Every structure is written in C-alpha cells, then in structure tokens.
Amino acid sequence: MFTPLIRLLAVGLAGAMACTVAGCSGGPAADSDGSVITIGFVGSLTGPLAASGKISLDGLKAGARYIESHHPGSTVEIVQRDTKGEPTAAVAATRSLAQEGVTALYYTTEAFAPVQDVLNQVRIPADTAGGIGPILDEVGDSKRYKYAFSTGAGTSGEASVVPLLEYAAGAGNRVAMLNDSSAFNTSQAELTTSIAADRFPQIELVSESFPATASDVTAQLNKLRDSGAPSAVVWAYGSSLVAVMSSLNRMGWNPQMSGVLGVGDPATAELIPPGMRETLAAGPMAKTFLAQHPGGSPTGIAAEFVELFLEVQGKSDFVALDTVGAVSFDWVLLVHQAAQKVKSGNPEKIKDQLVAGEPFEGANGTYTFGPDKRIGIEADQLAMFLPAQPCSQGACVPVREKTVR
C-alpha cells in the first residue's frame, strides 16, 4: 500500500518518464501572458553547413532585439543546440528543448524533416527555410505533420520554382537542370519537373544529378551542354554549388543560369564566370530586399532587420545570403505577434493562431498561413536578383527584362 510520500514520488517519476518519452512543452514561457517567449534553435553551427546555420541563429537574435525594442515589457530568449550538420542529432535536441519549455522552434534545412514526428508529440510550432520542401505534401492539420511552418521567402514550394523556370524559358524551349543528391535539392528538382510538365508544356527539360559530396561536376555539365540547352536551372547550395561554379569556369560554358539564393554568397559569387555575370539570376528573393531604383535601400521592417542583423554580426556589409537571416528573424516576429493576440506563451495556442488565416508582418513581407497552408509568402512578393552585383545598403540588384537573352 502506497504512503502519501511514496505516492507523490511515483507520480513525479511517471511525469518525468512521460517527458522523456514524449517531451514536455510546459515551462515559464508556456505559462506566461505572451510577453515572455523562448525560441529554440536547432541546426548546424559547426561542420560543413555551419555558414547558413550561424546566419539563421543571428537572425533569431536580431528578432529578439527588435521585439524587445519595439515592445517594452516583452522578453525573447533564444536557446541553441548545435547538430554539427547531423540530421539525427536534431531529434535529441528537440526533445531536450521541449522539456525546457520553449515556445517555438527554428531549424536549419537539413534538420527539419527528421524531427517532424517528435514535433507532433511535443506539439510545438517549428519553422524553417527550405527544409519544408521534402515534406511539403505531408504538412498541414489534415495531413501527417501538423506543426511545420516556413517563413522562407521563395525557398520551397511552387513559388521557389516558377521564377527560375520563367527566366530559363526566356532563352529557349530546351532547359538543362542540374541538382545535387541532398534531400532538399532532390525534392526541388522533382518539383521542377512536375511544374514544367504542368505549366510549361513547351519546355523540354534535360536533367542530370550529382553526389552532394562531389568536387567536380564537369561530366554532368558536359552532358547538359551537349544537349544544346541554352539555359540551366541549378539546384545546389554550399560546397556543391561551389563545385558547379568551378566546373563551369573550367569548361568555359556560359548558359543563362538561374539558381538558388546561395549563389549570392560571396564565396560563390566570386566564382561566377565572366560570361555569366550579366545573365546569371538567383533567388527568388523577397522584394523588400531588392533595389527599386539605383542606390535604393530597404524600408520599414526590412531596413530595421538589416541594421540589427549587421549589429549582431559585428560587420558593415550586407550580402545576398544574409537575407536567410530574415527568415528566422521573421519567425520571432510572427511567434510574438501570435502570442500577443492569444495573450499566452502556450505553443499549442500560438500554433492555432498562426494558422487562423490572419496576416502577419515581417521583414520579407506579409505572411498568411492556414490549416494546410504553411508557406506564408506568395510569389507576387518575390523576384530574382543578380548575384554578381553586390548588395548596397541592404538592397540587392533585381533582374531586369534586358538581362534575358
């Protein structure tokens, strides 16, 4: 027969075991009136994918500064877990942060898909940029993954593909497509094939892929060049994108190329072949970061993001890849806006408010989500930019019609 003390210990042990199995989303932030929120970062801060991970973390920090300066009395805490680029490490990190009572979570691309079943257990809304791409068909309240969101401006879904295809089609009806073997870029290539068949029936798509670890992709590019395609769509970022640009330089092939935002990374942009500097387009990027006139700079929330982000990073020059930081920055703003509306830091209530169909404002523009709509930025808020030309005062150079051959 249990004594009261033994009974209390047994109940406490059962609760601790339940947290270990399913994770716990209770804590100071969850019990607050919405003025205190905690955002957990899970992603690569060391290893080959660390560059974008650090930018995302700095975006969260900039978002916390924005909230605390614009909303006296509000507090945003950012807690981080480094996965070192290992997707499976994200699962343990998610459980750990859930037990600490975080309000919401943010993931780098490679870490997002592996944690979805755990997110369903701990019931915490989570955001990413391109990481939603491989699981997009299964995301939503009526589908398998109910807590996934993306504030990525043009990083996944139809809006991330159509502008690249439209640009490529401007050079001719045969379009080359190259992708590396990572989950994100494979899913983007598959989506491109599907969209091309449905919306661009005049296009003949010629495809090649290569291992994400490859340092030379000349063989694949030679096949695409031999197909006679005047343009190319490339799905690769990081070291694999560097391999593509280096191979193009060695070959001397200058297709009218469109690629991902990462082409604007200085380490990659400096490898753009001279013959492609006026025609290589990247993105899509939020129009809030595009110069609408020579010497133009961002305004509104986008301008404040640039200032705060550079402050966090301790630098003075803003580059195209820094707009990745706006993706995580906006997540902080959206979670805070939802928490203020429901007067609670409870993750479940915040998630329900996010999908209620109301607009949310961020540096990238206006977001609107729904029960099964988890990419909040529409295509009309996006455009392509020229990565060979540096951003000035936080605004990058948009692609103009005259650049299309």
- Measured at the alpha carbon of residue 284, what is the angle toward residues 282 and 289, in degrees to the nearest 5? 95
| DSSP reduced 3-state for 78 | strand
Co-location of 113 and 202 in the same domain: no
pLDDT value at position 87? 87
Asked if residue 393 and residue 376 are part of one domain, the reply reads no
Q: What is the pLDDT of residue 214?
A: 96
Alpha carbon distance 283, 270 (integer Å): 17
* Angstrom distance (rounded) from CA 157 to CA 174: 23
The strand pairing partners of 398, in sequence order, are 385
- Count of structural domains within the chain: 2
The count of other CB atoms within 10 Å of the CB of residue 226 is 10
Q: Which residues contact 288 (CB under 8 A, 6 or more apart)?
A: 298, 299, 300, 301, 302, 363, 364, 365, 381
Cβ atoms of 394 and 306 within 8 Å: the answer is: yes
Per-residue pLDDT, 49: 82
Buried residues in 245-265 as b, exposed as e (16+ CB within 10 A): bbbbbeeebbbbbbbbbbbbb
Note the maximum CA span of the chain.
Answer: 85
C-alpha–C-alpha distance, residues 123 and 141, integer Å: 12
Same domain, 32 and 49: yes
| Residue 334: inside a domain | yes
Q: Examine the domain organization and report whether 112 and 143 are in the same domain.
A: yes
Residues 392 and 249 in one domain: yes
Instruction: Give the CATH number for residue 197.
Output: 3.40.50.2300
- One-letter amino acid identity for 295? G
Residue 366: what are its φ and ψ, rounded to 5°? -100, 125
Could you give the CA distance from residue 157 to residue 296 in angstroms, rounded to a whole number? 29
Displacement of CA 158 from its chain's centroid (Å): 14
Same domain (yes/no): 165, 132: no
Residues 173 and 151 in one domain: no
What is the CB neighbour count within 10 angstroms for residue 184?
26
- The Cα–Cα gap between 250 and 305 comes to 38
Same domain, 64 and 84: yes
Report yes or no on 301 lying in a domain: no
Helices marked H in 24-141: 28-31, 50-70, 89-99, 109-112, 116-122
- Is 307 contained in some domain? no
User: Using DSSP, how many helices (H) and how many strands (E) does the chain show?
Assistant: 14, 13
Q: Is 170 helix (H, G, I), strand (E, B) or coil?
A: coil
Residue with tokens 């200032």: 307
Give residue 101's domain range: 27-155+321-380
Cβ burial, residue 72 (10 Å; 0-12/13-18/19+): exposed
144 and 258 co-located in one domain: no
Same domain, 151 and 188: no
Give the model's pLDDT for residue 29: 55
Euclidean distance between the first and the last CA atom of the chain, given in angstroms as a whole number: 85
- The pLDDT score that the predictor gives to residue 52 is 87
- Given a cut of 70, the residues of the chain with pLDDT beneath it are 1-32, 401-405
Strand partners, 128: 150
Tell whether 366 and 225 lie within a shared domain: no
Q: Are residues 130 and 41 in the same domain?
A: yes
Residue 373 lies in a domain: yes
Task: Answer yes or no: is 303 within a domain.
Answer: no
